[in-house]
Amino acid sequence: MRDILPVIAPWYAAGLPFGLATVVATSRSAPRDPGAAMAVGPDDEVVGSVSGGCVEGAVFELAQEVVASGEARLETFGYSDEDAFAVGLTCGGEITLLVRPVTARSDPSFGEVAESVAAGRPVTVATVTGGPAPGGATLAVWPDRVAGTLGAAGLDLAVTADARGELALGATGLRHYGPHGERREDEVGVFLHSFAPPPRMLVFGAIDYAAAVARIGDFLGYRVTVCDARPVFATPKRFPEGVEVIADWPHRYLSGTDTDERTVICVLTHDPKFDVPLLEEALRRPAAYIGAMGSRRTHDERMRRLVEAGLGEGELARLRSPVGLDLGARTPEEVAVSVAAEIVALRWGGSGTPLTATSGAIHPRGAGASSTRR
Protein backbone atom coordinates (compact mmCIF):
# COMPACT_ATOMS: atom_id res chain seq x y z
CA MET A 1 0.00 0.00 0.00
CA ARG A 2 2.78 2.41 0.90
CA ASP A 3 4.36 1.72 -2.50
CA ILE A 4 1.25 2.50 -4.57
CA LEU A 5 0.21 5.68 -2.74
CA PRO A 6 2.33 7.95 -4.97
CA VAL A 7 0.21 6.78 -7.92
CA ILE A 8 -3.26 6.63 -6.39
CA ALA A 9 -3.05 9.83 -4.28
CA PRO A 10 -3.09 12.00 -7.45
CA TRP A 11 -6.16 10.09 -8.68
CA TYR A 12 -7.92 10.97 -5.44
CA ALA A 13 -6.78 14.60 -5.55
CA ALA A 14 -8.13 14.91 -9.11
CA GLY A 15 -11.52 13.53 -8.06
CA LEU A 16 -11.10 10.33 -10.09
CA PRO A 17 -12.77 7.29 -8.46
CA PHE A 18 -10.80 4.05 -8.25
CA GLY A 19 -11.15 0.56 -6.87
CA LEU A 20 -8.80 -0.49 -4.05
CA ALA A 21 -8.23 -4.16 -3.19
CA THR A 22 -6.45 -4.91 0.09
CA VAL A 23 -5.38 -8.25 1.55
CA VAL A 24 -7.06 -8.40 4.98
CA ALA A 25 -6.46 -12.04 5.97
CA THR A 26 -4.38 -15.01 4.82
CA SER A 27 -3.84 -18.67 5.59
CA ARG A 28 -1.23 -21.29 4.80
CA SER A 29 1.30 -20.33 2.11
CA ALA A 30 -0.37 -17.14 0.92
CA PRO A 31 1.91 -15.14 -1.39
CA ARG A 32 1.33 -11.70 0.15
CA ASP A 33 0.79 -10.51 3.73
CA PRO A 34 -2.16 -8.48 5.07
CA GLY A 35 -1.87 -4.91 3.82
CA ALA A 36 -0.75 -5.79 0.29
CA ALA A 37 -2.82 -3.73 -2.12
CA MET A 38 -3.78 -3.28 -5.76
CA ALA A 39 -5.70 -0.38 -7.29
CA VAL A 40 -7.58 -0.01 -10.57
CA GLY A 41 -7.95 3.59 -11.64
CA PRO A 42 -8.76 5.81 -14.61
CA ASP A 43 -8.46 4.23 -18.06
CA ASP A 44 -8.17 0.83 -16.32
CA GLU A 45 -4.66 1.60 -15.08
CA VAL A 46 -3.48 -1.02 -12.57
CA VAL A 47 -0.92 -0.51 -9.83
CA GLY A 48 0.19 -2.89 -7.08
CA SER A 49 -0.37 -6.59 -6.48
CA VAL A 50 -2.27 -8.78 -4.03
CA SER A 51 -1.06 -12.24 -5.02
CA GLY A 52 1.99 -11.95 -7.24
CA GLY A 53 -0.12 -12.56 -10.34
CA CYS A 54 -2.39 -15.48 -9.41
CA VAL A 55 -5.74 -13.68 -9.06
CA GLU A 56 -5.03 -10.18 -10.33
CA GLY A 57 -7.25 -10.66 -13.38
CA ALA A 58 -10.28 -11.46 -11.23
CA VAL A 59 -9.46 -8.63 -8.82
CA PHE A 60 -9.27 -6.21 -11.76
CA GLU A 61 -12.87 -7.08 -12.67
CA LEU A 62 -13.98 -6.85 -9.03
CA ALA A 63 -12.45 -3.39 -8.70
CA GLN A 64 -14.33 -2.22 -11.77
CA GLU A 65 -17.58 -3.62 -10.37
CA VAL A 66 -17.26 -1.94 -6.96
CA VAL A 67 -16.54 1.43 -8.58
CA ALA A 68 -19.64 1.03 -10.75
CA SER A 69 -21.87 -0.10 -7.85
CA GLY A 70 -20.37 2.01 -5.07
CA GLU A 71 -20.49 -1.05 -2.78
CA ALA A 72 -17.50 -2.75 -1.14
CA ARG A 73 -17.05 -6.52 -1.45
CA LEU A 74 -15.18 -9.12 0.59
CA GLU A 75 -13.82 -12.02 -1.48
CA THR A 76 -11.70 -15.06 -0.63
CA PHE A 77 -9.43 -16.84 -3.10
CA GLY A 78 -7.90 -20.24 -2.47
CA TYR A 79 -6.46 -23.19 -4.35
CA SER A 80 -8.64 -25.54 -6.35
CA ASP A 81 -7.13 -28.72 -7.82
CA GLU A 82 -10.49 -29.78 -9.25
CA ASP A 83 -10.36 -27.21 -12.02
CA ALA A 84 -6.95 -26.23 -13.31
CA PHE A 85 -8.43 -23.16 -14.99
CA ALA A 86 -10.29 -21.87 -11.92
CA VAL A 87 -9.20 -18.51 -10.55
CA GLY A 88 -7.13 -19.30 -7.48
CA LEU A 89 -3.72 -19.40 -5.84
CA THR A 90 -1.17 -21.80 -7.28
CA CYS A 91 0.72 -21.78 -3.96
CA GLY A 92 -2.03 -23.60 -2.07
CA GLY A 93 -2.71 -20.72 0.32
CA GLU A 94 -5.76 -18.55 0.79
CA ILE A 95 -6.23 -14.78 0.80
CA THR A 96 -9.22 -12.66 1.73
CA LEU A 97 -9.54 -9.32 -0.03
CA LEU A 98 -11.60 -6.24 0.72
CA VAL A 99 -12.33 -4.49 -2.56
CA ARG A 100 -13.84 -1.04 -2.15
CA PRO A 101 -14.47 2.11 -4.16
CA VAL A 102 -12.48 5.16 -3.10
CA THR A 103 -13.89 8.64 -3.71
CA ALA A 104 -13.91 11.90 -1.78
CA ARG A 105 -17.43 11.04 -0.64
CA SER A 106 -16.80 7.45 0.45
CA ASP A 107 -13.42 8.15 2.08
CA PRO A 108 -13.04 11.88 2.88
CA SER A 109 -9.83 11.40 4.92
CA PHE A 110 -7.91 9.40 2.26
CA GLY A 111 -5.97 12.44 1.04
CA GLU A 112 -4.84 13.36 4.54
CA VAL A 113 -3.82 9.76 5.23
CA ALA A 114 -1.75 9.71 2.02
CA GLU A 115 -0.01 12.94 3.06
CA SER A 116 0.78 11.50 6.50
CA VAL A 117 2.25 8.31 5.04
CA ALA A 118 4.36 10.28 2.56
CA ALA A 119 5.67 12.50 5.36
CA GLY A 120 6.43 9.57 7.68
CA ARG A 121 3.76 10.55 10.21
CA PRO A 122 2.14 7.53 11.94
CA VAL A 123 -1.48 6.71 11.13
CA THR A 124 -3.72 3.63 11.20
CA VAL A 125 -6.66 3.18 8.84
CA ALA A 126 -9.53 1.05 10.18
CA THR A 127 -11.90 -0.35 7.54
CA VAL A 128 -15.09 -2.36 8.04
CA THR A 129 -14.79 -5.71 6.22
CA GLY A 130 -18.15 -7.22 7.15
CA GLY A 131 -21.09 -7.39 9.55
CA PRO A 132 -23.88 -4.95 10.39
CA ALA A 133 -21.58 -1.90 10.15
CA PRO A 134 -21.36 -0.09 6.78
CA GLY A 135 -19.09 -2.16 4.50
CA GLY A 136 -15.93 -0.31 3.48
CA ALA A 137 -16.45 2.50 6.01
CA THR A 138 -13.13 3.93 7.23
CA LEU A 139 -11.78 5.57 10.36
CA ALA A 140 -8.33 7.18 10.22
CA VAL A 141 -6.54 7.20 13.58
CA TRP A 142 -3.52 9.34 14.38
CA PRO A 143 -1.83 9.44 17.81
CA ASP A 144 -3.67 12.67 18.64
CA ARG A 145 -6.86 12.70 16.54
CA VAL A 146 -9.28 10.74 14.35
CA ALA A 147 -11.23 11.32 11.15
CA GLY A 148 -14.23 9.45 9.76
CA THR A 149 -16.55 6.93 11.37
CA LEU A 150 -17.40 3.23 11.21
CA GLY A 151 -21.06 3.96 11.81
CA ALA A 152 -21.40 3.71 15.62
CA ALA A 153 -19.83 5.82 18.36
CA GLY A 154 -19.01 2.81 20.57
CA LEU A 155 -17.38 0.98 17.68
CA ASP A 156 -15.33 4.07 16.84
CA LEU A 157 -14.08 4.33 20.44
CA ALA A 158 -13.06 0.67 20.70
CA VAL A 159 -11.37 0.64 17.32
CA THR A 160 -9.54 3.90 18.03
CA ALA A 161 -8.00 2.43 21.17
CA ASP A 162 -6.93 -0.75 19.38
CA ALA A 163 -5.66 1.15 16.34
CA ARG A 164 -3.33 3.24 18.48
CA GLY A 165 -2.03 0.10 20.16
CA GLU A 166 -1.35 -1.54 16.79
CA LEU A 167 0.29 1.66 15.54
CA ALA A 168 2.74 1.62 18.44
CA LEU A 169 3.75 -1.92 17.39
CA GLY A 170 3.69 -1.24 13.66
CA ALA A 171 1.17 -4.10 13.38
CA THR A 172 -1.51 -4.74 10.77
CA GLY A 173 -4.35 -7.24 11.08
CA LEU A 174 -8.03 -8.13 11.29
CA ARG A 175 -10.05 -7.65 14.48
CA HIS A 176 -13.65 -8.39 15.42
CA TYR A 177 -16.18 -6.49 17.54
CA GLY A 178 -19.83 -6.28 18.39
CA PRO A 179 -21.98 -3.70 16.54
CA HIS A 180 -21.20 -1.07 19.20
CA GLY A 181 -17.60 -2.01 19.87
CA GLU A 182 -18.21 -4.91 22.27
CA ARG A 183 -14.88 -6.69 22.81
CA ARG A 184 -16.10 -10.28 23.18
CA GLU A 185 -18.33 -10.32 20.13
CA ASP A 186 -17.41 -10.87 16.50
CA GLU A 187 -20.24 -9.66 14.27
CA VAL A 188 -18.20 -6.79 12.81
CA GLY A 189 -14.86 -7.34 11.09
CA VAL A 190 -12.46 -4.38 11.06
CA PHE A 191 -9.11 -4.36 9.27
CA LEU A 192 -6.49 -2.22 11.04
CA HIS A 193 -3.81 -1.10 8.59
CA SER A 194 -0.93 0.60 10.39
CA PHE A 195 1.43 2.99 8.65
CA ALA A 196 4.18 3.44 11.21
CA PRO A 197 7.27 5.46 10.26
CA PRO A 198 9.97 3.30 8.65
CA PRO A 199 12.11 1.45 11.20
CA ARG A 200 15.62 2.73 11.77
CA MET A 201 18.90 1.10 10.85
CA LEU A 202 21.93 2.51 12.68
CA VAL A 203 25.25 1.56 11.07
CA PHE A 204 28.41 2.37 13.01
CA GLY A 205 31.76 2.50 11.23
CA ALA A 206 31.96 4.38 7.89
CA ILE A 207 33.85 1.68 5.99
CA ASP A 208 33.19 0.02 2.61
CA TYR A 209 31.08 -2.65 4.31
CA ALA A 210 28.96 0.10 5.87
CA ALA A 211 28.16 1.58 2.45
CA ALA A 212 26.94 -1.82 1.23
CA VAL A 213 24.92 -2.47 4.40
CA ALA A 214 23.40 1.03 4.21
CA ARG A 215 22.40 0.42 0.60
CA ILE A 216 20.65 -2.87 1.32
CA GLY A 217 19.07 -1.40 4.47
CA ASP A 218 17.55 1.38 2.39
CA PHE A 219 16.33 -1.23 -0.10
CA LEU A 220 14.61 -3.12 2.73
CA GLY A 221 12.76 0.02 3.80
CA TYR A 222 14.83 1.16 6.78
CA ARG A 223 15.66 4.79 7.52
CA VAL A 224 19.44 4.45 7.56
CA THR A 225 21.97 6.45 9.56
CA VAL A 226 25.73 5.87 9.36
CA CYS A 227 27.87 7.16 12.24
CA ASP A 228 31.65 7.32 12.62
CA ALA A 229 33.90 9.34 14.90
CA ARG A 230 36.30 10.08 12.02
CA PRO A 231 35.07 13.03 9.90
CA VAL A 232 37.33 12.05 6.99
CA PHE A 233 35.29 8.85 6.57
CA ALA A 234 31.86 10.13 7.69
CA THR A 235 31.09 12.07 4.50
CA PRO A 236 27.76 11.84 2.61
CA LYS A 237 29.43 11.41 -0.79
CA ARG A 238 30.67 7.95 0.30
CA PHE A 239 27.14 6.67 0.90
CA PRO A 240 23.88 6.25 -1.03
CA GLU A 241 21.62 9.27 -1.44
CA GLY A 242 19.09 9.49 1.37
CA VAL A 243 21.37 7.90 3.98
CA GLU A 244 22.03 10.18 6.94
CA VAL A 245 25.74 10.45 7.81
CA ILE A 246 26.87 11.59 11.28
CA ALA A 247 30.38 12.41 12.47
CA ASP A 248 30.37 11.65 16.21
CA TRP A 249 31.63 9.09 18.70
CA PRO A 250 29.33 6.10 18.20
CA HIS A 251 28.39 5.54 21.86
CA ARG A 252 27.71 9.25 22.36
CA TYR A 253 25.48 9.42 19.30
CA LEU A 254 23.56 6.31 20.31
CA SER A 255 23.04 7.54 23.87
CA GLY A 256 21.17 10.55 22.49
CA THR A 257 19.15 8.61 19.89
CA ASP A 258 15.78 6.95 20.45
CA THR A 259 15.51 3.27 19.54
CA ASP A 260 12.57 0.87 19.69
CA GLU A 261 11.75 -2.80 19.16
CA ARG A 262 12.08 -2.39 15.37
CA THR A 263 15.50 -0.70 15.36
CA VAL A 264 18.45 -2.48 13.74
CA ILE A 265 21.97 -1.71 15.02
CA CYS A 266 25.00 -2.83 12.98
CA VAL A 267 28.41 -2.32 14.61
CA LEU A 268 31.06 -2.54 11.88
CA THR A 269 33.90 -0.67 13.59
CA HIS A 270 35.66 -3.82 14.98
CA ASP A 271 37.84 -1.52 17.07
CA PRO A 272 37.48 -1.94 20.86
CA LYS A 273 37.79 1.77 21.60
CA PHE A 274 34.65 2.30 19.50
CA ASP A 275 32.61 -0.88 19.66
CA VAL A 276 32.89 -1.81 23.36
CA PRO A 277 31.37 1.43 24.76
CA LEU A 278 28.92 1.40 21.85
CA LEU A 279 27.76 -2.15 22.58
CA GLU A 280 27.49 -1.36 26.30
CA GLU A 281 24.94 1.27 25.33
CA ALA A 282 23.22 -0.78 22.59
CA LEU A 283 22.70 -3.97 24.61
CA ARG A 284 20.93 -2.05 27.38
CA ARG A 285 18.29 -0.47 25.17
CA PRO A 286 15.41 -1.71 22.96
CA ALA A 287 16.34 -2.99 19.51
CA ALA A 288 15.23 -5.73 17.13
CA TYR A 289 18.75 -6.65 16.08
CA ILE A 290 22.26 -5.87 17.34
CA GLY A 291 25.09 -7.27 15.23
CA ALA A 292 28.84 -6.72 15.43
CA MET A 293 31.50 -7.42 12.80
CA GLY A 294 34.80 -9.11 13.60
CA SER A 295 36.74 -12.34 13.62
CA ARG A 296 36.22 -15.11 16.20
CA ARG A 297 39.20 -13.79 18.08
CA THR A 298 37.80 -10.25 18.00
CA HIS A 299 34.47 -11.59 19.21
CA ASP A 300 36.02 -13.43 22.16
CA GLU A 301 38.02 -10.38 23.21
CA ARG A 302 34.96 -8.15 22.81
CA MET A 303 32.83 -10.45 24.97
CA ARG A 304 35.49 -10.48 27.67
CA ARG A 305 35.53 -6.68 27.76
CA LEU A 306 31.72 -6.51 27.84
CA VAL A 307 31.60 -8.91 30.79
CA GLU A 308 34.13 -6.73 32.57
CA ALA A 309 31.89 -3.76 31.85
CA GLY A 310 29.10 -5.45 33.82
CA LEU A 311 26.79 -6.79 31.12
CA GLY A 312 24.85 -9.91 32.10
CA GLU A 313 24.11 -13.12 30.21
CA GLY A 314 20.70 -11.91 29.03
CA GLU A 315 22.15 -8.73 27.56
CA LEU A 316 25.07 -10.51 25.91
CA ALA A 317 22.72 -13.13 24.40
CA ARG A 318 21.16 -10.38 22.29
CA LEU A 319 24.42 -9.78 20.41
CA ARG A 320 24.71 -11.35 16.94
CA SER A 321 28.46 -11.75 16.56
CA PRO A 322 30.18 -12.39 14.25
CA VAL A 323 27.50 -10.57 12.27
CA GLY A 324 25.53 -12.24 9.46
CA LEU A 325 24.67 -15.72 8.21
CA ASP A 326 27.21 -18.18 6.87
CA LEU A 327 26.93 -17.59 3.11
CA GLY A 328 30.63 -17.71 2.34
CA ALA A 329 30.49 -13.96 1.63
CA ARG A 330 33.68 -12.15 0.64
CA THR A 331 32.93 -8.75 -0.94
CA PRO A 332 31.25 -5.88 0.95
CA GLU A 333 28.11 -6.44 -1.10
CA GLU A 334 28.04 -10.16 -0.31
CA VAL A 335 28.60 -9.44 3.38
CA ALA A 336 25.72 -6.96 3.26
CA VAL A 337 23.47 -9.72 1.87
CA SER A 338 24.62 -11.97 4.72
CA VAL A 339 23.77 -9.32 7.31
CA ALA A 340 20.42 -8.55 5.68
CA ALA A 341 19.57 -12.26 5.56
CA GLU A 342 20.17 -12.56 9.31
CA ILE A 343 18.05 -9.47 10.01
CA VAL A 344 15.16 -10.83 7.93
CA ALA A 345 15.44 -14.29 9.47
CA LEU A 346 15.37 -12.87 12.99
CA ARG A 347 12.44 -10.62 12.18
CA TRP A 348 10.24 -13.38 10.78
CA GLY A 349 11.53 -16.35 12.75
CA GLY A 350 13.38 -17.96 9.86
CA SER A 351 16.07 -20.58 10.39
CA GLY A 352 18.42 -19.64 7.57
CA THR A 353 18.20 -23.26 6.35
CA PRO A 354 17.86 -23.82 2.57
CA LEU A 355 14.19 -24.35 1.73
CA THR A 356 15.11 -27.57 -0.08
CA ALA A 357 16.06 -28.99 3.34
CA THR A 358 12.81 -27.99 5.06
CA SER A 359 9.18 -29.06 4.88
CA GLY A 360 5.83 -27.51 5.71
CA ALA A 361 4.58 -24.00 5.02
CA ILE A 362 7.12 -21.64 3.48
CA HIS A 363 5.46 -18.60 5.04
CA PRO A 364 4.23 -19.68 8.50
CA ARG A 365 1.60 -17.53 10.12
CA GLY A 366 2.09 -15.77 13.45
CA ALA A 367 5.59 -14.34 13.01
CA GLY A 368 6.58 -10.73 12.58
CA ALA A 369 4.59 -7.50 12.65
CA SER A 370 1.58 -8.52 10.54
CA SER A 371 -1.01 -10.52 12.40
CA THR A 372 -4.60 -11.68 12.16
CA ARG A 373 -6.19 -11.82 15.59
CA ARG A 374 -9.22 -10.89 17.61
The torsion angle over the Cα atoms of residues 40, 41, 42 and 47, rounded to 10 degrees, is: -80
Q: Tens of pLDDT along 193-227?
A: 999 888 999 999 998 899 999 999 999 989 999 99
Identity of the amino acid at 73: R
Give the mean pLDDT of the chain.
Answer: 89
Helix, strand or coil, per DSSP, at residue 40:
strand
Q: Tens of pLDDT along 252-301?
A: 999 999 999 899 999 999 888 999 999 999 999 999 999 999 999 999 99
Cα-based distances in Å from 38 to 2, 20, 35, 193, 243: 11, 6, 10, 15, 29
User: CB 107: neighbour CB atoms within 10 A?
Assistant: 22
Looking only at the bridges linking them, the beta strands covering 173-177 and 188-195 are antiparallel
User: What is the secondary structure of 302-346 as a DSSP string?
Assistant: HHHHHHHTT--HHHHTTEE-S-S--S---SHHHHHHHHHHHHHHH
Residue range 337-345: mean pLDDT, rounded: 96
Q: What pLDDT is recorded for position 370?
A: 40
Q: What pLDDT is recorded for position 37?
A: 94
Residue range 175-179: mean pLDDT, rounded: 96
Residue range 19-23: mean pLDDT, rounded: 96
146 phi/psi in degrees, rounded to 5: -135, 165
Beta bridge partners of 100: 20
User: What is the secondary structure of 90-111 as a DSSP string?
Assistant: TTS-EEEEEEEEE-TTT-TTHH
